[in-house]
Chains A and B, each alone.
Chain A
Amino acid sequence: MTPTTHVTSDPDGAPASQPVNPPRAFSVFSAAELKTALKKMYLIRRFEEAAEEAYQRGLTYGTMHLSIGQEASAVGACLPLGPSDYITSTHRGHGHCIAKGADPKLMFAEFSGKETGYCHGRGGSMHIADVENGNLGANGIVAGGIPIAVGAALSIKKRGLPNVALSFFGDGAANEGAFHEALNIASIWKLPVIFVCENNKYAMSTSIERALSVKNVADRAVAYSMPGVIVDGNSVIDMADAVMAAMDRAHAGLGPTLIESKTYRLRGHSRSDRNRYRTREEIESWAARDPIGRFEGDLIAHGLATAADCIAIREAAEAEIAAAVQFSNDSPLPSVDHLLSDVYTPVEAKP
Chain B
Amino acid sequence: MTAPLSATTGALPVDPTATRELSFAEALREALGQALEADERVFLMGEDIAIYGGAFQVTLGLLERFGHDRVMDTPISELGSAGVAVGAALAGSRPILEFQFQDFATLAMEQIVNQAAKIRFMFGGKCSVPVVFRAPTGSGTGGAAQHSQSLEAWYAHVPGLKVVQPSNPYDAKGLLLAALDDPDPVMFFEHKLLYKVKGHVPEAPYRVPIGKAAIARPGTHLTIVASAIMVSRSLEAAKELAEKGIDVEVIDLRTLRPLDTETIIASVKKTTRLMCVYEGVKTLGIGAEISAMIAESDAFDYLDAPILRLGGAESPIPYSPILEKAAVPQVADIVAAAERLAKKRV
Q: Which residues of A contact B (CB under 8 A)?
A: 61-63, 113-114, 119, 121-127, 139-144, 172-173, 175-178, 203-206, 210-212, 272, 276-277, 333-334, 336, 339-340, 343
Residue contact B142 to A124, C-beta cutoff 8 Å:
yes
Q: Identify A336's interface contact among B50, B141, B316, B322, CB under 8 A.
A: B322
CB distance from A331 to the nearest CB of B (A): 11
Residues 66 to 101 of chain B near chain A (Cβ within 8 Å): 73, 75-80
Decide: B76 and A113 in contact? CB cutoff 8 A. Answer: no
- Cα A103 to Cα B57 with chains together (Å): 36
Are B315 and A176 interface neighbours, CB within 8 A? no
The residue in A61, A178, A272 that gathers the most chain B C-beta atoms within 10 A of its C-beta is A61
In contact, B51 and A175 (Cβ under 8 angstroms):
no
Closest beta carbon of chain B to A168's beta carbon, Å: 15
Contact partner of A126 (CB less than 8 A), chosen from B79, B144, B316, B320, is B144
Q: Tell me if A176 and B77 are in contact (CB < 8 A).
A: yes
Contacts of A343 in B (CB 8 A): 314-316
B240 to chain A, nearest CB (A): 22
Contact indicator A336/B51 (Cβ below 8 Å): no
CB–CB A121/B320 < 8 A: yes
Interface centre among B73, B80, B142, B319 (most CB of A within 10 A): B319
Residues B319 and A143 in contact, CB atoms below 8 Å apart: no
A259 to chain B, nearest CB (A): 20
Name 14 interchain pairs, CB-CB below 8 A, sorted by A: A61-B142, A62-B143, A62-B319, A113-B322, A114-B320, A122-B316, A204-B52, A205-B50, A206-B48, A206-B73, A334-B323, A336-B322, A339-B318, A343-B316
Interface string of B302-319 (1 = CB under 8 A from A): 000000000001111011
Interchain CB contact under 8 A, A124 and B320: yes
Residues of B within 8 A of A178 (CB): 107
Residue B26 at the chain A interface, CB threshold 8 Å = no
Q: Which of B75, B78, B143 contacts A63 (CB 8 A)?
A: B143
In the bound complex, how far is the Cα of B58 from the Cα of A123, in angstroms? 27
From A126, A206, A272, A339, B315 is in contact (CB under 8 Å) with A339
Provide the residues of chain B in CB contact with A204, threshold 8 Å: 47-48, 52
Beyond A211-B73, A211-B75, A277-B52, is A121–B143 a contact (Cβ under 8 Å)?
Answer: no
Chain B contact residues, majority secondary structure: loop
Q: In the complex, A63 Cα to B314 Cα: how many Å? A: 24
Closest-CB distance, A266 to chain B (whole angstroms): 18
Q: How far is the CB of B325 from chain A (nearest CB, A)?
A: 8
List residues of chain A with CB within 8 A of the CB of B327.
Answer: 339
Contact partner of B75 among A61, A62, A123, A203, CB < 8 A?
A203
List the 9 closest pairs (A to B, CB-CB), nearest first.
Answer: A62-B142, A124-B319, A140-B146, A113-B320, A121-B320, A175-B75, A205-B52, A61-B142, A211-B75
**Which residues on B sit within 8 Å (CB–CB) of A124?**
142, 144, 319-320
User: Is A339 within 8 A of B313, CB to CB?
Assistant: yes
* Distance in Å: Cβ of B116 to nearest Cβ of chain A: 17
Chain A, residue nearest B321 (CB): A61
In whole angstroms, how far apart are the Cα atoms of A277 and B53 in the complex? 11
B75 near A206: Cβ-Cβ < 8 Å: yes
Residues from chain A with a CB closer than 8 A to the CB of B284 are: none
**Nearest-neighbor residue (CB-CB) of B318 within chain A:** A122
Complex Cα–Cα for A284 and B320 (A): 35
Of A121, A125, A277, A340, the contact of B313 (CB 8 Å cutoff): A340
Which residues of chain B come closer than 8 Å to A272, judged between CB atoms? 55
Shortest Cβ distance from residue B334 to the other chain A in the assembled complex, whole angstroms: 17
B147 close to chain A: CB less than 8 A: yes
**What CA separation (Å) do A14 and B40 show in the bound complex?**
54
The answer on a CB contact under 8 Å between B314 and A142 is no
Q: Is the CB of A127 within 8 A of B144?
A: yes
**CB-based contact A276/B52 at 8 Å:** yes
Q: Is the CB of B76 within 8 A of A203?
A: yes
A340 touches B320 (CB 8 A): no
Report the Cα distance A114→B323, complex, angstroms: 10
Do A210 and B320 touch (CB < 8 A)?
no
B103 at the interface (CB under 8 A from A): yes
In the complex, the chain B residue whose C-beta lies closest to that of A143 is B76
**Residue pair A141, B103 in contact (C-beta under 8 Å):** yes
Is residue B326 contacting chain A, with contact meaning CB distance below 8 A?
Answer: yes
* A54 to B147 CA separation, bound complex (whole angstroms): 21
Residues of A within 8 Å of B142, CB to CB, are: 61-63, 113, 124
Q: A113-B323, A333-B320 are in contact. List 14 more A-B contacts (CB 8 A).
A: A113-B320, A122-B144, A122-B320, A123-B145, A125-B319, A127-B144, A142-B76, A204-B48, A205-B51, A205-B73, A334-B320, A339-B318, A339-B326, A340-B313
